Structure 1
Amino acid sequence: MALGFFDQFMSPTYMGVSLIFIALTFPWILYPTPSNRWLNNRLILLQGQFFNRFTQQTLLPLNQGGHKWALMLTSLMMFLLSINMLGLLPYTFTPTTQLSLNMGLAVPFWLATIIIGMRNQPTATLGHLLPEGTPKPLIPVLIIIETISQFIRPLALGVRLTANLTAGHLLIQLIATAVSVLSSTMTTVAAITMVVLLLLTVLEVAVAMIQAYVFVLLVSLYLQENT
């Protein structure tokens, strides 16, 4: 039984062992492995079509050098989408509500795009720090501001994903608690609140999918600037 509203965001443990590793590896069990047969089942066909469509959409604005990231970006999308959706089930845990996990994903991907840009096109990468035609007195200020904005990017990636999922889960729990309290005294209000809860649950499903896509989309945009 949860002792507080924020206890649902604590990493679950069993006999002192954290279970977050199970939550991170479990989504991969859900996806069937494609076979070498001429004809696969419908689930594998739908899975392959979704992967192809998402990969084409993600790589559309990227240069040829960024196409090497196709497998990594698609895997990241499916990983985030799976754990976000599984976290909406009862008696489950959403790992992406932990800021440490999201920063552990955001910082390496952001740093990889910076390293690729500095290795392949250092002039263009450093050129993003100073817009063309900037007056000379503003050059130091703009360089400092753009440098700070570059280092804020991974923080924005991690905090955006954490805040959106945490707020949605917390709001669902608050409304569900209100429904359980009002069901014995004010049945009409409880029924209306239940409808709001169902609509909010649908909205949270959409948020879980959108935030996974936004995370990968922003990584692809950072990659586009450095390839």
Structure 2
Amino acid sequence: MNLSFFDQFMSPSLLGIPLIMLSMLLPWILFPTPSTRWLNNRLSTLQSWFLFVFTKQMFSPINTPGHKWAAMLASLMIMLVSINPLGLLPYTFTPTTQLSMNMGFAVPLWLATVIIGMRNQPTAALGHLLPEGTPTLLIPILIVIETISLFIRPLALGVRLTANLTAGHLLMQLIATAAFVLLPIMPMVSLLTSTILFLLTILEVAVAIIQAYVFVLLLSLYLQENV
């Protein structure tokens, strides 16, 4: 029985129970529990340093009221960085290849930034829909276009993360299948294909981390516009 390449993106289940929540929560075991001591071990110190540098870079251009989002966006960044490379390990599953999960992250957070902008500065928030100096005849068209671009933001957030991880995993599986099939026929070509697969694996790890950063960065930019 030949399995489809897309079977790797199906949510794993045991006795009919979906295990997606388990695959989301297990990576958190890799991170050390913070302590109240002044001096911690190297892993805790590295984690604290990463969070400090990340929040400082992310929230330096954002006004003070937006700094309340620091803990939530930093937690989201750590969660995505933990989950995205998870599917590169054998017998594992990447939850962020599911569009429903990514949209579940993107839509509420994007909507929260829009609501904050409408509540705190409604004039500036509505002013983004119409650029200054627009000719009178183009005003209705530009308002429609800017409104569509505003509502397409969460879709772009979710689809970008899903598409990048799905495409990388599919390409790796195709190359791995080719290397396995070519091994008894053309060993040298199979060795070259395996080398390409190794380099692609390194690239996919980088893509998984970069996509997590881009997801949180775009949310911070949306927050910056509305704070």
Query: How high is the TM-score relative to the length of structure 1?
Result: 0.98
* CA distance, structure 2, for counterparts of residue 36 and residue 151 of structure 1: 43
- Which stretches in structure 2 are left out of the alignment for 5+ residues? none
Cα distance in 2 for partners of 1:209, 1:38 equals 30
Equivalent position SS for 1:87: helix
TM-score, normalization by structure 2 = 0.98
Shift of 1:191: 0.5
Q: Is 1:184 the equivalent of 2:180? A: no
1:75 matched residue in structure 2: 75
Give how far 1:64 is off: 1.1
Counterpart amino acid of residue 143 in structure 1: I
Deviation digits for residues 52-87 of structure 1, max 9, x if unmatched? 011111112211111111001100000011001222
Check the 8 A contact 1:86/1:92 in 2, yes or no. yes
Alignment partner of 1:106 is 2:116:
no
Judging changes above 3 Å, is the alpha-carbon distance between structure 1 residues 127 and 73 closer, same or farther for their aligned structure 2 residues? Answer: same
Paired position in structure 1 for 2:167: 167
Contact 1:87/1:93, CA 8 A, preserved across alignment: yes
Q: Report the Cα distance in structure 2 between the residues aligned to 1:136 and 1:170, rounded to whole angstroms.
A: 49
In structure 2, the partner of 1:38 is 38
**Which digits, 9 at most, give the CA deviation of each residue in 1:149-191, with x for residues without a partner?**
0000000000000000000000000000001001111000000
Question: What displacement does 1:2 show?
Answer: 7.5
Q: Distance in 2 between matches of 1:172 and 1:12?
A: 20
For residues 152 and 27 of structure 2, what CA distance do their matches in structure 1 show?
A: 30
AA of the residue aligned to 2:93: F
Superimposed CA distance per residue, residues 30-57 of structure 1 (whole angstroms, 9 cap, x where no aligned partner)? 1111111232101100010011011111
| 2: CA distance, partners of 1:39 / 1:52 | 16
In the alignment, the residues of structure 2 paired with residue 180 and residue 40 of structure 1 have an alpha-carbon distance, to the nearest angstrom, of 46
Instruction: Give the AA of the match of 2:69.
Output: W
Q: For 2:38 and 2:18, locate their aligned partners in 1 and report how far apart those are by CA, in whole Å.
A: 42
Moved over 4 A (4+): none
SS at match of 1:138: helix
Hey, what does 2:158 align to over in structure 1?
158
2:27: which partner in 1?
27
Q: 1:2 touches 1:8 (CA, 8 Å); kept in 2?
A: no
**C-alpha RMSD of matched pairs (Å):** 1.0
Once the two structures are overlaid, the 10-residue window that deviates more, 208-217 or 26-35, is: 26-35
1:92 correspondence with 2:81: no
Cα distance in structure 2, aligned partners of 1:122 and 1:25: 38
One-letter code of the match for 1:140?
A: P
Q: 1:202 & 1:2 partners in 2: Cα distance?
A: 28
